[in-house]
Structure formats: C-alpha cells, structure tokens
A and B are shown apart, each in its own frame.
Chain A
Amino acid sequence: MSAQPEGILASYRFVDAAADAIRTLKAEGYRNFTVYTPVPNVEIQHAIGHRVSPVRLWTLLGGLTGCATGFAMTLWMSFDWPIVVGGKPIGSIVPYIVIAFELTILFGALATLIGLVFHIRRTRQPGAYDGRFTDDRIGIFVPCPSDRRQAVETLLRTAGAEEVRVEA
C-alpha cells in the first residue's frame, strides 16, 4: 500500500450537499479527489462523471475465449481418439454447443472478476478514510499541500460538510 497522501477529509450527511461539493471541486480544477459512499449513488456518480468502467471489456473477451475453448476442446478431444458414438459424426457441433455455452458463461464470469480486481487495483485511491463511510456518511478526501488547505476547507464547508479534518 502506498503511503497516504496529505490532504483534507470531509464528511457529509446529505447527498445533495456532497454532490455540490464534488461539482465545485471539479469546477475549481481538482481532479484526484476520492469520494466514499456507503452505497452506489446516481447523483454522486453523475457529479463525478467517470466514464463507464472498462470491466465490461473483460466480460466480452472472457466470454469469447470461453466459447472458443468450448468448441476447440470438444472437437480436438473427439478427433484425438475418434470413436463413433450413437451413429453421430465424430465432431458433432450441436451437442458441443452446450459445452461451449457453459464455458462462455464460466470464462466470462471469471474474467469479469479478474477485470474487477485488476481495475480496482489500478485505480486505487490511497486517501484517508473513516469507518462511517461504509455506514451512513459520504466522505470526500482532497489531497492538497499545506498552503492550499484553507481554500479547500472553505470550499468543502460551504457545500455543507458536517465535519472537516486535516490529514497530514
């Protein structure tokens, strides 16, 4: 874990107050702040304005890999030791669809989780934290040098912060 950066940690009770603070922060040019919420919230998400998570790409690639694996494995294994079963062709595509389908789902789900862990680690936000942020409060951590502290603190309080604390 990288060292915690110094900055200001504010907590909010009201969701619109927190959204106001986020919009003001963005308008003032702050970018690398962290917002903690107990549940995903549309208003906050819109205020932050992240692009859609790339996790979905992992799902797609995982699913396609699974489908290809399903067909490749069944066909290769059938031809590796060819035995006619029930008078069907050695490589019967129709029954293998079931295997390919299941592996599409399996690989898709596993890839989604790997993608989730990968992207969360890649976009890790090491700012200060408080236990109440998984309970009922919204938190905003703004990393800033000591000379900017006063300005940030005023900004966060004006938006309606319940509590503001300096993390050095």
Chain B
Amino acid sequence: MATIAREDQLTRPTYHEVTRDIAASIGNPSRSYYVLLGFVLLVLAVGVGALLYQVRYGLGVAGYHPPVMWAVYITNFVFWVGIAHSGTLISAILYLFRSAWRTAVYRTAEAMTVFAVMTAGLFPIVHLGRLWYAYWLFPYPNQRQLWVNFKSPLLWDVFAVSTYFTVSTLFLITGLVPDVAALREQAVGWRRKLYEITSLGWRGTDQQWRHYTRAYLYLAALATPLVLSVHSVVSWDFAMSIVPGWHATIFAPYFVAGAIYSGVAMVVTLLVPLRKVFRVEQYITVEHFENLAKLLLLTGMIVTYSYGVEYFMAWYGGSPYERASFWNRAFGSYWWGSWTMILCNGVLPFFLFFRKIRRSIPAMFVLSLFVNLGMWFERFVIIVSSLSHEYEPYAMGHYTPTWVEWSILAGSFAWFFMWFLLFAKNFPTVSITEVKEIMPMPRKERQHS
C-alpha cells in the first residue's frame, strides 16, 4: 500500500511509544470514568432490585399475556447475543482476511463480545422464573434418568451459546497474554503483581511465538464458523416453529447479518467515549470509524434487503396467515415498533453512503445509537408481534411490558457496561502487540539510506 500516503504514516509512533501510550491509558482514567461507573452501578442496582422482586412474586409481574409468552426477556437475549457477534467478526474473520485496520479496535470488540454473551446468558435464566432450575438445561445424570431433548432448538442454543462464551473468552485471554507481558515491565504496585501472574511467564521467545501464532490462527479459524453458527442457531429458536412471521428459511443469514450490524454499532458506541476517556485518540482514528461505517453500511443493506424479502415472501407465498401476520406487523397494534425498526435499520444507514458522515465521529456515534435502538425493536417486533397474531382470532392477544421488564433491561445495559468499564481500566483496550505488528520494525539499511 505504498501508494497511499496518509498523515498517520508520517507521524507513526515507535514501538516504545506504543507500549508507553497504551500503558499510560491504564489505571488513571479521567474523572468522567468514575462518574460513568457510579451511574452504571446505580442502574445495575435498579435492575437487580427488579429481578429480586420478580423472584419473590413470580413471573406474573412481567407482562406476559397469552399467547405472548416470549417477550422482552427473549428480545434482550437475542439482542445481546447479536451484539456479541461483531467482536468475533473483527477479531477472527478480519484476522483471517489479514485486515490491518482491525488491530486497533479488535480488543475492544472482543471484550465486548465476552461481556455481551455474559449479559445474554442471563436472560433465558431470568425468563425461566424459577431461575434456580437453570441447570436443568444441561444433560447431566439425574435421579429420574431423564435426558434433555436434543431435537429442540432451545437445547441447540444452550450448546451454541455456552460454546461461544467459552471460545470467545479463551480467544480474548490468549490475545491478552503478550500485551500483559509488555505491560508487566511498565507497571508498578499491585498491578505489576497482577500482570506478572496473568502474563503466564510470557517472554516472547522464538519457541513461544512459534506455537502461539499457530494456535491463534487455529483459534480464529474455529471462531469463524462458530460466530456464523451461533446466531443461526438463535434464529432457529424461531424459524423451527410454525408461527407465522417466524417460519422462514431466510432467518439464519438474516439474523447473522443483523447481529453483526448491531454489534458493529455497539463497537462504535463504545469506542467514541473510550478513546476520549482513556486518551487513545492517536490509535483509534477516523480511519477506523470509516471502516466500521462501511461494515455498518454493508450489513445494514443486507438487513434492509431481508426486511423486503420477508414482506415479499409473505405476500408471494400466498398463506393467508402469513399475510395477516405481516399486515399486523406493519399496521397492527405494534406498528410503532415496526416503523422504528425500519427507520433505524432500513433508512438511516443509507446516510453512510456519504463520506462526510462516515468520517464524522459525532455523526457515527448518534447513528450507532439509532442502530442499537432499531435492532432491539427488530427482535421485539419479530418475537412479540408474531406471537400476538398467530392463527385463531380468539387466541390473539396483546402484550405490554411492565416496569419490571424495563428495569431488568436497563440493568442488563448496566451489567454490560460495568464489566466493560472495569476491563478497560485494568487491561489494554488497544492491543499493544497487534498495533506494533502492523508497523514495520526499524531496519539498519533504511537508517543508512
């Protein structure tokens, strides 16, 4: 890429400056960090309070109303699993494609993945009502010698999501080891002790790199089909049933594209304040935002196309139930959800065709918030509007979320941000090793000429 001379190539930092700058971002963030953390903990307390209230008085405090027995909690589950997806896209798929720009943002995305899956995993449990029976989901030898039903998509989900959580956590930790070793030499006090332990004796020897680079490559190669499978499996929770509005073969790719779309939006939402609070503006630049914007635009167009296909197939397929379900979706009692989703996901991303918007950080931040909102509503609309309007008119119903569900939703955001804030304060949110890797090492030949 020698033909493209960019400003940041002229002011490119040295290896030592990379270590120093990123090490400096750890441990002493600006005051706004603590304000943010305090606020997040407060909201989390509200969410936990609402959950305890639900545990005490039962699932009746949620707004479930037959036939809508899957609602905000399942929406939240799908939403948070979706958020997780772009992390693995950026860290594994773009790694396999040797995409250099990912190095500065992949750590944030990967940490986000782990915390988003941790958040998503709570919701099937919250939705159970009697959450202390959650372990029934796993096949374990029990008194009645009963096994789980492996033919159920809900069980596939258990395997997909727990595998996803395990593999993305391992991937994050593996990537952190050389970075933590670099920090170990700079840190003081208890952090030095922490890094000495968590660097696992990493010294960057030739043998260590030899095995590490291979292992990392294969982890990325395993994570790539995994990320595509996880949201496909989540989509089959719906598509395998015969509910009008759910029973569609397009669901798996449609959900995967939507997941990456919402995840990239969340990466943007996180990066904008992060680069200010931790002063890493030099490493996370407008170029990165522009590339993320292109990903948003691509996946946004796939999502918009899927919306079109859904409505088209409902009409073209000729099933009166399917047609009625989609008519209800657009003009029935949940019209506001559908139109919010179409506005946020099908109209606003097209502004990204303008370079000015792609390169404006405030515009990207605002847009990412709208995409997050739109993607939450997409899941809400798919789940709630389809369930409320199935086959028999006498069995149709209307569901309205209660304050308990809204509080738990708010709490889930707080839970996610709490983990992210704690991680960002103590571990490098920009990968030291990978940022160095895309910069050429100094050569004596060049020095002489």
Q: How far is the CA of A112 from the CA of B160 in the complex (A)?
A: 19
| Contacting residues, chain B, for A74 (C-beta < 8 A) | 150
In the complex, the chain A residue whose C-beta lies closest to that of B200 is A117
| Contacting residues, chain A, for B213 (C-beta < 8 A) | 40, 53
Scoring A residues 115 to 142 as 1 if CB is less than 8 Å from chain B, else 0, what string do you get?
1100110011100010111111010000
Q: Does A29 contact B (CB under 8 A)?
A: no
Verify B163–A105 contact, CB threshold 8 A: yes
Known pairs A55-B214, A116-B212; A134 contacts B139 (CB<8 A): no
Q: How far is the CA of A38 from the CA of B205 in the complex (A)?
A: 9
Residues of B205-228 at the interface with A, using a CB-CB cut-off of 8 Å, are: 205-215, 218-219, 222-223, 225-226
Known pairs A13-B442, A135-B15; A38 contacts B436 (CB<8 A): yes
In the complex, the chain A residue whose C-beta lies closest to that of B226 is A105
| Contacting residues, chain B, for A38 (C-beta < 8 A) | 15, 182, 204, 433, 436
The one of A16, A77, A135 in contact with B445, judged by C-beta atoms closer than 8 angstroms, is: A16
Verify A41–B205 contact, CB threshold 8 A: no
Q: Does A72 contact B (CB under 8 A)?
A: no
Verify B215–A134 contact, CB threshold 8 A: no
Known pairs A120-B208, A134-B185, A160-B444; A55 contacts B160 (CB<8 A): no
Q: Does B149 contact A (CB under 8 A)?
A: yes
Interface size on A, residues (CB 8 A): 64
Verify A103–B205 contact, CB threshold 8 A: no
Q: Does A4 contact B (CB under 8 A)?
A: no
Q: Does B28 contact A (CB under 8 A)?
A: no
In the complex, the chain B residue whose C-beta lies closest to that of A66 is B163
Scoring A residues 88 to 107 as 1 if CB is less than 8 Å from chain B, else 0, what string do you get?
10001001101101110110
Interface residues of B, dominant DSSP: helix
Verify B167–A109 contact, CB threshold 8 A: yes
Q: Does A108 contact B (CB under 8 A)?
A: yes
In the complex, the chain B residue whose C-beta lies closest to that of A53 is B214
Verify A125–B225 contact, CB threshold 8 A: no
Q: Does B287 contact A (CB under 8 A)?
A: no
- Counting contact residues on chain B (CB < 8 A from A), the size range is 35 or more
Smallest beta-carbon distance B148→chain A, Å: 8
Q: Does A35 contact B (CB under 8 A)?
A: yes
| Contacting residues, chain A, for B209 (C-beta < 8 A) | 37, 40, 45
Known pairs A106-B163, A125-B205, A135-B16; A80 contacts B147 (CB<8 A): yes
Verify B149–A85 contact, CB threshold 8 A: yes
Which of B151, B156, B174, B181: most chain A CB closer than 10 A?
A: B151
Verify A44–B206 contact, CB threshold 8 A: yes
Verify A123–B442 contact, CB threshold 8 A: no
Q: Does A168 contact B (CB under 8 A)?
A: no
Smallest beta-carbon distance A15→chain B, Å: 4
In the complex, the chain A residue whose C-beta lies closest to that of B225 is A105
Interface residues of A, dominant DSSP: helix
Smallest beta-carbon distance A126→chain B, Å: 10
Q: How far is the CA of A103 from the CA of B163 in the complex (A)?
A: 7
The one of B214, B233, B443 in contact with A98, judged by C-beta atoms closer than 8 angstroms, is: B233
Verify B163–A55 contact, CB threshold 8 A: no
Verify A55–B211 contact, CB threshold 8 A: yes
The one of B146, B185, B218 in contact with A81, judged by C-beta atoms closer than 8 angstroms, is: B146
Smallest beta-carbon distance B351→chain A, Å: 37
| Contacting residues, chain A, for B205 (C-beta < 8 A) | 34-36, 125
In the complex, the chain A residue whose C-beta lies closest to that of B439 is A39
Smallest beta-carbon distance B139→chain A, Å: 6
Instruction: Give me 27 A-to-B residue pairs in the complex whose CB atoms sit less than 8 angstroms apart, sorted by A's number.
Output: A16-B444, A16-B445, A34-B207, A35-B205, A36-B205, A38-B204, A39-B178, A39-B433, A45-B209, A55-B215, A86-B151, A99-B150, A99-B155, A101-B229, A102-B229, A105-B163, A105-B167, A106-B163, A109-B166, A109-B223, A110-B166, A112-B218, A113-B174, A113-B215, A120-B208, A123-B210, A136-B19
- 13 further contact pairs, Cβ within 8 A, besides A98-B160, A99-B156, A102-B156: A36-B204, A39-B441, A45-B210, A50-B207, A77-B147, A96-B150, A103-B163, A105-B223, A106-B163, A109-B219, A115-B215, A125-B207, A134-B203
Q: A residues near B, CB below 8 A?
A: 13-17, 34-41, 44-45, 48, 50, 52-53, 55-56, 59, 63, 73-74, 77-78, 80-81, 83, 85-86, 88, 92, 95-96, 98-99, 101-103, 105-106, 108-110, 112-113, 115-116, 119-120, 123-125, 129, 131-136, 138, 160
